[in-house]
Amino acid sequence: MGHELTIEPLGETIEVADGQTILDACLRAGIWLPHACGHGLCGTCKVDVVDGEIDHGAASSFALMDFERADGKCLACTALLLDDVTIEAEIDEDPDQRRIAVRDNGDMLLGLLTDAQLLDAERHRRWAAALVKMALETEGNRDVLAGWLAKWVPLGEAAIDAYCTHLPDARDTAALARAAAADFRTNIGL
């Protein structure tokens, strides 16, 4: 059944399922709250509860001290809603927020693997950008690269589509991934 969560200063209201943390619900709704450990240990995700009741869950007493609890603060990564709640948070505008890996059903391992994969992908993009920059300094290479793209882009897009058919809950993911790949090619001068 769940409850409604209103996030100020955005003024946005989202649904939070029973057993779902504030952080998880926000990330899934595309609202990027600062966070780090994801386990109630570091305090990075501290927000103010300005209305409604929450359960602090597994928040560590070091990351969220008693006086802070009394002051209406909570850790978004552990807090569960007992009521319709309004929080006040520092909202980060992160253009890459779609790349935040969220954890389903407390599956930490999958989340960590996804994080590692994202870091790896970033590294590959840096290497590819450097390689293309160097290649384009030599006359004639642009045509060679264009030939490779003509061959590989359709195969890459087919792979994206095939993968995304297994993600029925993630709407528009294939289109977003294809658009991100096209943006990347444009940004590196191809």
- Residue 28 or 185: the one with the smaller Cβ distance to ligand FES is 28
The minimum distance between CB 123 and ligand FES, in angstroms, equals 24
> What's the rounded Cα separation, in Å, for the pair 84 and 112?
31
Binding site for ligand FES (CB under 6 A): 35-38, 40-45, 63, 75, 77
Which residues in 24-173 belong to E strands, given as ranges? 46-51, 54-55, 73-75, 80-81, 85-88
Give me the least distance between CB of 62 and ligand FES, in Å please: 10
Q: How far is the CB of 143 from ligand FES (least distance, A)?
A: 49
Smallest distance from ligand FES to CB 67, Å:
17
Q: Considering beta carbons, is residue 46 or 160 the nearer one to ligand FES?
A: 46
Crossing angle of helices 141-164 and 108-135, rounded to 10°: 160
Which lies closer to ligand FES via its Cβ, residue 75 or residue 160?
75
Q: Which long-range contacts (CB under 8 A, 24 or more apart) does 141-147 make?
A: 145/190, 146/190
Rounded Cα gap, residues 37 and 22, in angstroms: 14
Nearer to ligand FES, 63 or 80 (CB): 63
